[in-house]
Amino acid sequence: MYHPFSDVSAGLTRLNCARHGPDDDDNMSLKGKGKGKASAPSPSQYNENQWPPYPPPGETDLEKALRVEEEREARRVSDAIDRAIESERQAVRRRQKEETRLLLLGQSESGKSTMLKNFQLAFTPKALQAESDAWRAVIHLNLVRSVNFIIDLLSNAVASNSSPYGSSYLPHGNGHAGDTSPTVSSFAHRRLSASQQPSAEIRRYKLALSPLRQVEMILAKQLSVHDAGSQGTLPSALLSARALEVSVRGGRGWKSLLRRRAHEDVPTSNYPEELENARQILDACRADIVSLWASSGVQIGLKEEGVVLQEQSGFFLDQAARIADINYEPTFDDILKARLQTVGVEEHRLVMETAAETGQQWVFYDVGGARGQRASWVPFFDDVNAIIFLCSTAGFNEVLLEDRTVNRLLDSFNLWKTVCSSKMLGSTQFILLLNKTDILEARLKAGIQFSNYVKSYRDENDLPHVTDYLRKKFIAMHHHHSPQPRQLHVHSTCAIDIDTTSAVLMRIRDAILVTNLIATDML
Ligand X SMILES: Nc1nc2c(ncn2[C@@H]2O[C@H](COP(=O)(O)OP(=O)(O)OP(=O)(O)O)[C@@H](O)[C@H]2O)c(=O)[nH]1
Residue 111 contacts ligand X per CB under 6 A: yes
CA distance 383 to 158: 55
Report, in Å, the least distance between residue 113 CB and Mg ion.
3
97: annotated binding-site residue?
Answer: no
Is 100 or 108 the residue whose CB approaches ligand X more closely?
Answer: 108
Q: Choose, by CB under 5 A, the member of 168, 342, 428, 501 that binds Mg ion.
A: 342
Mark 164-203 with x for binding to ligand X (rule: CB under 6 A) and - for no binding.
----------------------------------------
Q: Compute φ and ψ for 217, nearest 5 degrees.
A: -65, -45
Report, in Å, the least distance between residue 467 CB and ligand X.
12
Mark 342-381 with x for binding to ligand X (rule: CB under 6 A) and - for no binding.
x-------------------------xxx-----------
Residue 113 contacts Mg ion per CB under 5 A: yes
486: annotated binding-site residue?
Answer: no
Residue 67, helix vs strand vs coil:
helix
Is 83 or 404 the residue whose CB approaches ligand X more closely?
Answer: 404
Residues 34-93 that bind ligand X (CB under 6 A): none
Is 112 or 279 the residue whose CB approaches Mg ion more closely?
Answer: 112
Residue 112 contacts ligand X per CB under 6 A: yes
What value does the CA radius of gyration of the chain take, rounded to a whole number of Å? Answer: 33
Report, in Å, the least distance between residue 255 CB and Mg ion.
14
Report, in Å, the least distance between residue 342 CB and Mg ion.
3
> Cα 172–175–179 angle (5° rounding)?
155
Is 13 or 108 the residue whose CB approaches ligand X more closely?
Answer: 108
Packing angle, helices 408-421 and 463-481, rounded to 10: 30
Range in contact with ligand X (rule: CB under 6 A) among 191-199, 251-259, 297-305, 334-342: 334-342
Q: Choose, by CB under 6 A, the member of 25, 59, 71, 109 that binds ligand X.
A: 109
Report, in Å, the least distance between residue 95 CB and ligand X.
27
Residues 6+ apart with CB under 8 A from 384: 101, 102, 103, 365, 428
341: annotated binding-site residue?
Answer: yes
Is 46 or 332 the residue whose CB approaches ligand X more closely?
Answer: 332
333 burial type by CB count under 10 A (0-12 exposed, 13-18 middle, 19+ buried): exposed
Of 355, 356, 362, nearest to 120 (Cα)? 362
CA distance 294 to 516: 52
Give the full edge-to-edge strand order of the sheet including 429-435.
345-351, 361-367, 99-105, 386-392, 429-435, 488-492
CA distance 318 to 239: 22
134: annotated binding-site residue?
Answer: no
Q: Which does 482 bind (CB under 5 to 8 A by kind): Mg ion, ligand X, none?
A: none
CA distance 507 to 515: 12
Residue 438 contacts ligand X per CB under 6 A: yes
- Is residue 113 within 8 A of residue 348, CB to CB? The reply is no
- Beta-sheet pairing, 246-249 with 341-343: parallel
Range in contact with ligand X (rule: CB under 6 A) among 103-111, 152-160, 184-192, 395-403: 103-111
Paired residues of 402 in beta bridges:
none
3-state secondary structure 8-48: CCHHHHHHHHHHHHHHHHHHHHHHCCCCCECCCCCHHHCCC
Residue ranges for the known binding site are: 336-342, 435-438, 495
Q: Which residues sit at the interface with Mg ion, rule CB under 5 A?
A: 112-113, 342
Residues within the interface to ligand X (CB under 6 A) = 106, 108-114, 313-314, 336-337, 339, 341-342, 368-370, 435-436, 438-439, 494-496
